[in-house]
Structure 1
């Protein structure tokens, strides 16, 4: 990289590693290399369930050399079957599709004509080889009165920083309707640049920072070899949105903090490659203009509005330059903001859930000790001086936030809950109309932020025990932000969100050790929003 390369936000400095094995293509294993028949080495998945349909996904390896990103391998006919029973005696739909190198031998089938609110099983066959069997579920009919809806919720899964035990524990529950992933499914960094307290738990493929279509395909392929990830995808349908690391750190419509024009090529070309690989490798139905913003419905209980806050946003600005409040700057883009507002206005469900990449609740930082402030600023994307706003979040796009919250207020839209990832920490907060005068000014909505699956948190940056030094930061955050009811800056884990007509509750679970494949999990906290309240309150037990 050239000396002109801008500083990159990272919690830890890059760790030097030996070149070699990490730079090799994705290892398929001795048995796979010896096989002559096609193989299903990356699992199966389903996604974006509808009342009458669901998207099915897999990837076939027709010959050992056809590793992800290789652009080699013959066209391969793949048969798919979807049945109402696990034994496949009642096949509801079936067909064939040709997997080609043009789509990295991935397979996506958008099955329609199914029965609402019904469980199905599916599988793929190629050259006599049968894939693992997956289970999926259509959503209820639009007029169905649901008693309960339950999501597993996660974000920020860095391969090099640990194992995906969170996915294993979610898969084992057997009680979630879908897996909601809120961004940073993959990370773009080179090996050692962002890992676990400076230690690479398991190396990326490719070893270098990903830039090209082959790079992004290879990185997605590496992720899909994780057994726990495969188990969760095979158990329930996935509903996913992207954030910045599916492209590059702090991405915006015209570039990214982790992209140097010239040295790393054209930004538009990199984005096109990243999006193509994403839609090839993820069980996501491309929506408006090839983005991930779209809407799903669960009967009369909830609408789920899924956002894309990277493709259309203005470049992040520094605090103090006078542009943060400018109406010319946007995090959503005009078309997406209008789409969201009209969808919220038209909603006739009890709850309006918003899958939201970056935190919408305002966060002010005042007097923190420097040794805490600086790593916290890096983690949250603040300037090194620790100024009082994270300009990568909605705090950097205050005009859009005022417009959206004003729309909720002027149209009497209640029961809006933002579900957020991104910042490697867990939060429960009200979303105030005016933070400075809260609680007198009232709350427009509530927000539940889930922590990272593996990506470094504040204790990792400081290399201290969890819930020690960071407690001072938590106390300062809560003192300066009365709408924020709880913060955990240290833990790794996931959430389980239950929605009923009476309330929406997020249960937070933490992992014992992200660097251990056999990590255990335990419940730590729960918060809920009662219908009509627009406020979060603590609950002292998880949902059963």
Structure 2
């Protein structure tokens, strides 16, 4: 069945068994309230976590209202079906998401989101988008990944058209986008203007919430709202489903559970309090449902047909405190580490992509302590390396093949090969880790590599000046394509215009 043949009859048949679809014009009961005018969808629409039978659709309204999503095989929405969504209320900052289900696999779906006054009298203007449900055959796969948005004071610059890297990514027409974390910089205020070393001036769109570090729930919500002020981001989010994970800057720099801040910028010093507020805002403002995650938070598996499974990690919520890394520590936590090994072993997909919010062999310091996995010391694994070594060893023992690691975090692009022939620890199979980013933040690097797992840098794109602005280049995203006929996986590391800087093709084993 082609996308053009996705008929109203087919939608009704499938909806009756899975999606609970309503015909256009159907209403849900709601509590009446008095407010003039029509609801307004303030920050666009977003797509998340695609499946063979649908995806998550997100929006936000400016007042209490009911979310509705119309779906159709046609761009003109003739014979569209209307799906009722949640009430959009102040409890969730006016946001809400609906998981569409019951749709046929591998089809183009057009959708239109509206918000209806709770008494059913007035309806907002509709916002439209489209996506393709995940195919269940060996269709070619193309997806992108990157991270690090609005960091180091580089916000939305209207003089250069905003965050145009999102336009370059949209031009690649990916099946989905893996956001590898640092989706916002809650600890990074922006100023109206910044003068670059060459005399050029960077100008920022500024909001009250982006004028200080985030501490309150409202301020954390404002971090996510800020990014969606950019028209490039909104256009991308309406048509490209995203797999979202988080890292540290959604809360504060280099945080770990139980930390007490020593920072005069914060009046609330308890990181656990800040993290709870950030977590609520993250789930309100991103197209991700808590119930789709294993722990009700972030980590989960997302399948994309027989060629690909993506394992989205959370290296932040279950880590031990940052230290010198000279004693065994955790970064995944026991339960997540067991889940990862178990799900990798059970996967029948050709390729298993591990979406890590931090790199493995790149040394990421936190002052005189260690923020990342690598502890910077030669010899046997220690610190957080010890947990990763157990995971890698178990993957090898269970003969899990075709594993690739993708990450961002360090604000440069790189390709790193890990081999037991070069390593101090040899109980694992050779693998590749590909690094991309930033999307719109300061550019840094490259960092030194830790020798424990035998890394070798095959490619790097990093600036000569640390903290370089997006106007100086060195903004990156990565692209993965899988050929349906051969199963070969190709990685392209691209710059902010979408030009491929380096490419590597891997054959499945």
Q: Shared fold (TM-score greater than 0.5)?
A: yes
Q: Does 2:465 align with 1:488?
A: no
Deviation at 1:255, TM superposition (A): 2.7
Contact 2:188/2:212 (CA < 8 Å) preserved in 1? yes
Q: What is the SS of the residue equivalent to 1:80?
A: strand
Shift of the 255–91 alpha-carbon distance from structure 1 to 2, 3 Å rule, reads farther
- Say if 2:363 is the partner of 1:401: no
SS for the counterpart of 2:489 is strand
The answer to whether 1:171 aligns with 2:170 is yes
Q: CA deviation at 1:451?
A: 2.1
2:312 to 303, 306, 309: 306
Deviation at 1:192, TM superposition (A): 4.8
What corresponds to 1:120 in structure 2? 109
User: What CA deviation, in whole Å up to 9, does each residue of 1:50-105 have, x standing for no partner?
Assistant: 1223111011113xxxxxxxxxxxx2133221222221124255224321000101
**In structure 1, distance between residues paired with 2:55 and 2:245:** 17
1:237 aligns with 2:230: no
Question: Do 2:112 and 2:127's aligned partners in 1 also have CA atoms closer than 8 Å?
Answer: yes
Partner Cα distance (1:482, 1:125) in 2 = 50
Distance, in Å, in 1 between the alignment partners of 2:260 and 2:477 is 27
Q: Deviations for 1:333-386, whole angstroms, at most 9, x for unmatched residues?
A: 1111111000011111111011110001x247xxxxxxxxxxxxxxx43546xx
- Unpaired runs of 5+ residues, structure 1, are 1-34, 63-74, 365-379, 459-469, 512-519, 533-544
Name the CA distance, whole Å, in 2 between partners of 1:482 and 1:279.
Answer: 35
Residues 477 and 403 (structure 1), Cα distance of their counterparts in 2 relative to 1, 3 Å cut:
closer
Distance 1:307 1:478 in 2: 21
> Which deviates more, 276-285 or 488-497?
488-497
Equivalence map 1:218-229=2 (5 Å): 218-229=222-233
Question: In the TM superposition, what are the counterparts of 1:147-158 in structure 2 within 5 Å?
Answer: 148-158=140-150
Partner of 1:523: 500
Partners of 1:238 and 1:283 within 8 A in 2: yes
CA contact (8 A) 1:409 1:444 kept: no
After superposition, the Cα gap between the structure-2 partners of 1:392 and 1:214, relative to the gap in structure 1 and judged at 3 Å, is: same
Matched, 1:445 2:431: yes
Distance in 1, Cα, partners of 2:451 & 2:294:
41
1:84 and 2:82 correspond: no
Q: Is the 8 A contact 2:41 2:62 kept in 1?
A: yes
1:338 aligns with 2:370: no
> In structure 1, how many angstroms separate the alpha carbons of the residues matched to 2:401 and 2:190?
45
The SS at the match of 2:423 is: helix
| CA distance 1:294–1:348, shift in 2 (3 Å) | same
Match of 2:60 in 1: 59
Cα deviation 1:270-298 (Å, max 9, x = unaligned): 11111111111100122233311011111
Q: Distance in 2 between matches of 1:100 and 1:58?
A: 12
Cα distance between partner residues in 1 of 2:194 and 2:258: 27
The reply to whether residue 428 of structure 1 matches residue 421 of structure 2 is no
Counterpart for residue 505 of structure 1: 490
User: Looking at both structures, which has the greater relative contact order when contacts are Cα pairs under 8 Å and sequence separation is at least 6?
Assistant: 1
SS in 2 for 1:357: coil
TM-score, normalization by structure 2 = 0.78
Give 1:11-30 correspondences, 5 Å limit. Answer: none
Alignment of 1:216 with 2:189, yes or no, is: no
1:263 matches 2:267: yes
SS in 1 for 2:499: strand
Cα distance in 2 for partners of 1:423, 1:352 equals: 23
Aligned 1:408-423 pairs, distance under 5 A: 408-423=395-410
Q: Is the 8 A contact 2:135 2:304 kept in 1?
A: yes
SS of residue in 1 equivalent to 2:43: coil
Q: Give a deviation string over 1:312-332, Cα, whole Å, max 9, x none.
A: 11111125xx32xx1xx2100
> TM-score scaled to structure 1, two decimals?
0.73
**Shift of residue 150 of structure 1?**
0.6
Q: 1:197 to 1:216 in 2, by over 3 A?
A: farther
What SS does the aligned partner of 2:411 have? coil
**Separation of aligned partners in 2, 1:479 and 1:416:** 20
Match of residue 48 from structure 1 = 49
Matched pairs, number: 433
Aligned residue for 1:288, secondary structure, equals coil
**1:71 match:** none
Distance apart, 1:259 and its partner CA: 6.3
The CA RMSD measured in Å over matched residues stands at: 2.9
Quote how far apart the aligned CAs of 1:195 are. Answer: 7.8
The 3-state SS of whatever aligns with 1:59 is strand
CA distance in 1, matches of 2:195, 2:319: 30
Secondary structure at 2:148 match in 1 = coil
What is the match of residue 127 of structure 2? 132
Q: Cα offset for 1:261?
A: 12
Residue 94 of structure 2 corresponds to: 105
In the TM superposition, what is the alpha-carbon distance from 1:503 to its structure 2 partner?
A: 2.3
User: What secondary structure is seen at the aligned counterpart in 2 of 1:251?
Assistant: coil
